[in-house]
A = this chain, B = another copy of it.
Amino acid sequence: MGLDLHDLEPVSRRSTAAIVADRIRQAIMRGTFPPGTQLGEVELAGRLGVSRGPLREAMQRLVAEGLLRSERHRGLFVRDLDAADVRDVYLARTAVERAAGMLILDGDRSAATERLTAALAAMEAAAAAGDAVALADADHGFHAELVAAAGSPRLRRMADALLVETRMCLAALQQTAPPAEELLVEHRVLRDAVHDGDADRLVATLEAHMADAVDRILGPAGGGPAGAGLPLGPPPAVPA
């Protein structure tokens, strides 16, 4: 239902490096590779059925995206995100999605509303089914659709990268249980604000939504002033 650009795509599929990059990215997102784990090149290459050449290229892409951290002659490690990183991710997301929202309000609101409604339906279905990972997927999809509807390639690219990091946060610090109903309400308000063209309400709701997400992940400790740069303390229990 949610295929974006299948309209007669050129026959040549993407390069091998891009494919394995997507694979690794998805594995990191889904928590298959916990933060801090070392990714051996030979093992990964063997498991994916490719050689080390394309795999290294894919790794470089992921390093550029900030998902991996490369130590020279030591290996590649999955970046572990601390509390400051969580705040930073949501701060950047707020900036990007805010700009996307303003852009939508100056553009085709009805089309955007339609796309957001569809994404919202996916969230509602997942919530009704009680499927937590599907709900997270749909949440991801809603925000991706929000900035995609803005029509800015660069905002979209930045948002995609940030959403991947968001999933990393969720996978790493798996919160107990996201209150599905509250989540749905917040997203519904976002869509309505887009529909009504209410800029102030959209921005306020977006910021509150992001702050809520940070609180949900970190516990209601440092969600307010968002002082970036502090490593800060142990919220409930984070592994080293």
Chain A residues in the interface with B (C-beta under 8 A) = 12, 14-15, 17, 53, 56-58, 60-61, 63-66, 70, 72-73, 85, 88-89, 91-92, 94-96, 98-99, 103, 106-107, 150-155, 157-158, 162, 165, 225-229
Residues in chain B near residue A66, CB distance under 8 A: 154, 157
A159 to B201, CA, bound (A): 27
A169 to B60, CA, bound (A): 26
Identify whether the interface residues of A are mostly helix, strand, loop, or mixed.
helix
Partner of A72, one of B15, B57, B91: B15
Partner of A61, one of B12, B61, B153, B165: B61
A91 touches B61 (CB 8 A): no
B227 touches A154 (CB 8 A): no
Residue of B nearest to A15 (CB): B72
Residues in chain B near residue A165, CB distance under 8 A: 154
